[in-house]
């Protein structure tokens, strides 16, 4: 059992002693594989060096292995320890193999150090171990410089394991290898690390995901989040973990790659307070002043965040909206939204998909506070939006902006670009004319529009559709909102402009760090843009979940048919199902035999049965997805 308590490592630099690791608390049980994830420069290797007694810095705190304090041991003691109970595979350790000795002799070395006189035994063990790591006999006497990277890595592994250590530290074991060797080594590692406690250090999330039982996220020398690997990576709670996971390319997630906004601070320029606050989208004042303590959360998760992890910004519960079809009073109503629960986290992109008439825009308008729901509540930053006083509502609207569906319509043709973009500032009484003008210029630069006097005095009818959309975007962003609800921001534009606007929107989302609800009828776009995707059908969310999961494994027949019908040019669709294309809203069929409204998709569904006509399927959790279909109920 490895226990690290309050470990601090300081390096002496010309600018004084700078802490590279601060207050690290970690434990790894016997036989457990603990992953350490972090960007380069976060202090991962310093941690490994500190545990193995190789660190050149000044160490404080305690590192205990099997109850034995490791810090403060003498050089000799460390030598003994490293030979027997703990071994380390260093990053790019190929360079550390002696080029003048054949491979097997170097592999024998650690064993000989432990048992100096048993040369035969050492040879036997070394060759067995080399076999085990997948090296052929003809390689045993080769010199290191004749070996490939994968072979070197295997040899190093053999070297590390030959002394049968109880603690194995792997620093970036596979990061320099190609995909196939990587996969081989990872498989090997899974087999070999049976009994011993392993610390895997990597910037590569897939390595951690594959090997580690638990993982810790390291940023600027602090552990920000720890927890079981699967839940940590699938449902990250710390803003940094989420950003890190989001930056990682995966074959199934179609989402565009976005780095984490801002730059990784160098050692001398590490910010005070929470180390991540300069790049965090939800930082408060306290984050800059005080280091957050680690708090235990459910599911074995530990979190160091003043705000308790990613905050929920917007929530709609039981939202319903209906419109009188004809006249007023007793006439039939069109149920545009029929009871929706939806939530939006800080800095998240939620893509809302559905065909026209499914109630997406209606839902968006309710969430933005434009229209009052017929039933249900919208809470924004924990406060019921429609219960606010007029003054509070006005204030809340600064942080909650909407990009309207038809931007040309939403811009008054009697105002100049400057008047248009400055309008929210003017209404909200922000700043004086001079600062407003500056703010307008800044917002125009964000959306890559000219900010000169000539453009500021243009009227909308002189602008192209793409420019109008960007003016509307600049107007929505000029107040620097926390949430932007974009209703079909690209629908009316041609393909190339469409791509530009969407790219711009996502880039701005990343840079400015606002949460985004992207309303679209295009599933491909939703999957590319969204962290989460919600699929709407006739006023209900029928499926919701991480974008990658929805795309790879759509559960609801409607989602499947949407995927099947996804527009593509050339080549087959993602999922060519033989589903009938969703037809006209079947109002009549939504009434079951006993008068209860049933699953709205059932009339078009290939899997529909009697159940579907009888009961409204509830939204149930399946893995990380939620689906409303009787087949999963």
| Residues 265-304 as x/- pattern, contact with other proteins by CB under 8 A | ----------------------------------------
Distance of closest approach, residue 54 Cβ to other proteins, in angstroms: 60
Give the nearer residue to other proteins in terms of CB position, either 394 or 621.
394
Give the nearer residue to other proteins in terms of CB position, either 263 or 409.
409
504 near other proteins (CB under 8 A): no
Q: Segment 479-498, which members bind other proteins (CB under 8 A)?
A: 479
Give the nearer residue to other proteins in terms of CB position, either 398 or 614.
398
- Size of residue set near other proteins by CB under 8 A: 29
Distance of closest approach, residue 238 Cβ to other proteins, in angstroms: 33
Type and span of the H or E element at 206: helix 205-211
Residue 168 and residue 197 in contact, taking contact as beta carbons nearer than 8 Å: yes
Q: Which stretch binds other proteins (CB under 8 A): 85-93, 301-309, 390-398, 531-539?
A: 390-398
Q: Segment 391-430, which members bind other proteins (CB under 8 A)?
A: 393-394, 397-398, 401-402, 404, 406-415, 423-424, 427-428
Q: What percent helix, strand, coil does the chain show, rounded to 5?
A: 35, 25, 40
Give the nearer residue to other proteins in terms of CB position, either 469 or 561.
469
Give the nearer residue to other proteins in terms of CB position, either 242 or 397.
397
Q: Segment 171-210, which members bind other proteins (CB under 8 A)?
A: none
The residues near 405 (Cβ < 8 Å, ≥ 6 apart) are: 361, 487, 488, 491
The residues near 383 (Cβ < 8 Å, ≥ 6 apart) are: 392, 396
Distance of closest approach, residue 349 Cβ to other proteins, in angstroms: 21
Distance of closest approach, residue 471 Cβ to other proteins, in angstroms: 12
324 near other proteins (CB under 8 A): no
Distance of closest approach, residue 391 Cβ to other proteins, in angstroms: 10
Give the nearer residue to other proteins in terms of CB position, either 109 or 399.
399
Distance of closest approach, residue 411 Cβ to other proteins, in angstroms: 6
Question: In 287-332, which ranges are E strands?
Answer: 295-297, 301-303, 312-324
Distance of closest approach, residue 350 Cβ to other proteins, in angstroms: 19
Between CA 507 and CA 500 the distance in angstroms is 10
Using the rule CB under 8 A, which residue among 43, 110, 292, 369 binds other proteins? 369
Distance of closest approach, residue 475 Cβ to other proteins, in angstroms: 8
368 near other proteins (CB under 8 A): yes
Between CA 629 and CA 542 the distance in angstroms is 7
424-434 core/surface letters (b: 16 or more CB in 10 A; e: else): bbeeeebeeee
The residue with tokens 């049933």 is 598
Give the nearer residue to other proteins in terms of CB position, either 190 or 409.
409
Give the nearer residue to other proteins in terms of CB position, either 420 or 628.
420
Using the rule CB under 8 A, which residue among 230, 235, 267, 370 binds other proteins? 370
* H-type alpha helices, 377-459: 390-399, 407-410, 417-427, 433-446, 453-456
Distance of closest approach, residue 628 Cβ to other proteins, in angstroms: 31
The residue with tokens 């209404």 is 427
Torsion, Cα of 366, 367, 369, 370 (10° steps): -50
Give the nearer residue to other proteins in terms of CB position, either 181 or 428.
428
Between CA 127 and CA 363 the distance in angstroms is 67
The residues near 168 (Cβ < 8 Å, ≥ 6 apart) are: 86, 87, 88, 89, 160, 161, 193, 196, 197, 198, 199
Q: How many CB atoms lie within 10 A of CB 623?
A: 12
* H-type alpha helices, 235-368: 239-247, 285-289, 360-367
Between CA 431 and CA 439 the distance in angstroms is 9
Distance of closest approach, residue 367 Cβ to other proteins, in angstroms: 12
Distance of closest approach, residue 479 Cβ to other proteins, in angstroms: 8
| Residues 437-466 as x/- pattern, contact with other proteins by CB under 8 A | ----------------------xxx-----
How far is residue 68 from each of residues 85, 103, 419, 474, 539, measured CA to CA in Å?
12, 33, 71, 60, 62
Give the nearer residue to other proteins in terms of CB position, either 85 or 405.
405
Give the nearer residue to other proteins in terms of CB position, either 246 or 397.
397
Distance of closest approach, residue 448 Cβ to other proteins, in angstroms: 22
Minimal CA–CA distance to 530: which of 251, 315, 234, 255? Answer: 255
Between CA 520 and CA 526 the distance in angstroms is 7
Distance of closest approach, residue 458 Cβ to other proteins, in angstroms: 11
Give the nearer residue to other proteins in terms of CB position, either 312 or 423.
423
N- to C-terminal Cα distance for the chain?
43
| SS3 label, residue 9 | strand
Give the nearer residue to other proteins in terms of CB position, either 391 or 572.
391
Residue 459 and residue 416 in contact, taking contact as beta carbons nearer than 8 Å: yes
Burial class (CB in 10 A: 0-12, 13-18, 19+), 621: exposed
Q: Which residues bind other proteins (CB under 8 A)?
A: 368-370, 393-394, 397-398, 401-402, 404, 406-415, 423-424, 427-428, 459-461, 475, 479
């Amino acid at each position: 059992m490895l226990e690290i308590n309050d470990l601090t490592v300081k390096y002496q630099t010309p600018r004084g002693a700078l802490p590279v690791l601060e207050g690290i608390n970690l434990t790894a049980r016997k036989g457990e594989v603990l992953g350490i994830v972090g960007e380069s420069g976060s202090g991962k290797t310093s941690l490994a060096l500190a545990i193995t007694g190789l660190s050149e810095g000044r160490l404080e705190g305690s590192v205990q292995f099997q109850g034995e304090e490791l810090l403060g041991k003498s050089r000799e003691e460390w030598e003994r320890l490293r030979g027997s109970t703990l071994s380390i595979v260093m990053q790019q350790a190929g360079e550390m193999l002696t080029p003048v000795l054949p491979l097997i002799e170097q592999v024998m070395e650690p064993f000989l150090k432990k048992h100096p006189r048993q040369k035969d035994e050492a040879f036997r063990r070394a060759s067995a171990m080399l076999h085990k790591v997948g090296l052929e006999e003809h390689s045993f006497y080769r010199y290191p410089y004749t070996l490939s990277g994968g072979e070197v890595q295997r040899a190093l592994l053999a070297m590390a394991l030959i002394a049968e250590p109880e603690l194995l530290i792997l620093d970036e074991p596979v990061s320099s290898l190609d995909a196939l060797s990587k996969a081989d080594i990872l498989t090997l590692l899974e087999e070999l690390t049976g009994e011993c406690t392993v610390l895997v250090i990597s910037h590569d999330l897939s390595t951690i995901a594959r090997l580690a039982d638990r993982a810790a996220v390291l940023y600027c020398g602090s552990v920000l989040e720890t927890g079981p690997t699967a839940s940590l990576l699938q449902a990250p709670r710390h803003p940094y973990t989420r950003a890190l996971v989001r930056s990682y390319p995966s074959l199934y997630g179609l989402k565009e790659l976005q780095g984490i906004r801002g730059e990784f601070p160098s050692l001398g320029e590490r910010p005070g307070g929470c180390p991540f606050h300069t790049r965090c989208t939800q930082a408060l004042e306290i984050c800059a002043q005080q280091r957050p303590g680690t708090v235990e959360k459910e599911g074995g998760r530990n979190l160091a965040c003043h705000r308790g992890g990613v905050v929920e910004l917007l929530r709609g519960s039981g939202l319903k909206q209906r419109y009188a079809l004809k006249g007023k009073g007793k006439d039939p109503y069109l149920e545009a939204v029929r009871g929706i629960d939806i939530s939006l986290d800080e800095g998240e992109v939620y893509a809302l998909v559905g065909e026209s008439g499914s109630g997406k825009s209606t839902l968006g308008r309710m969430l933005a506070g434009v229209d009052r729901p017929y039933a249900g509540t919208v809470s924004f930053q924990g406060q019921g939006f429609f219960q606010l006083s007029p003054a509070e509502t006005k204030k809340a609207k600064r942080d909650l902006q909407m990009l309207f569906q038809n931007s040309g319509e939403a811009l008054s043709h009697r105002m100049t670009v400057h008047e248009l973009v400055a309008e929210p500032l003017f209404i909200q009484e922000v700043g004086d004319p001079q600062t407003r003008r500056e703010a307008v210029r800044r917002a125009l630069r964000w959306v890559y529009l000219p900010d000169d006097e000539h453009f500021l005095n243009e009227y909308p009818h002189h602008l192209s559709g793409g420019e109008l959309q960007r003016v509307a975007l600049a107007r929505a962003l000029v107040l620097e909102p926390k949430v932007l609800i974009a209703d079909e921001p690209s629908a009316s534009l041609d393909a190339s402009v469409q791509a530009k606007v969407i790219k711009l929107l996502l880039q701005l989302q990343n840079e400015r760090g606002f949460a985004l609800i992207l309303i679209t009828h295009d599933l491909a776009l939703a999957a590319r843009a969204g962290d989460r995707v919600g699929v709407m059908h006739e006023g209900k969310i029928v499926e919701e979940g991480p974008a990658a999961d929805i795309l790879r494994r759509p559960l609801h027949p409607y989602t499947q048919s949407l995927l099947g019908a996804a527009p593509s040019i050339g080549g087959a669709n993602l999922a060519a199902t033989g589903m009938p294309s969703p037809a006209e809203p079947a109002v009549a069929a939504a009434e079951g035999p006993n008068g209860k409204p049933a699953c709205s998709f059932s009339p078009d569904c290939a899997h529909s049965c009697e159940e579907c006509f009888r009961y409204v399927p509830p939204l149930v959790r399946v893995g990380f997805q939620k689906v409303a279909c009787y087949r999963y109920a």
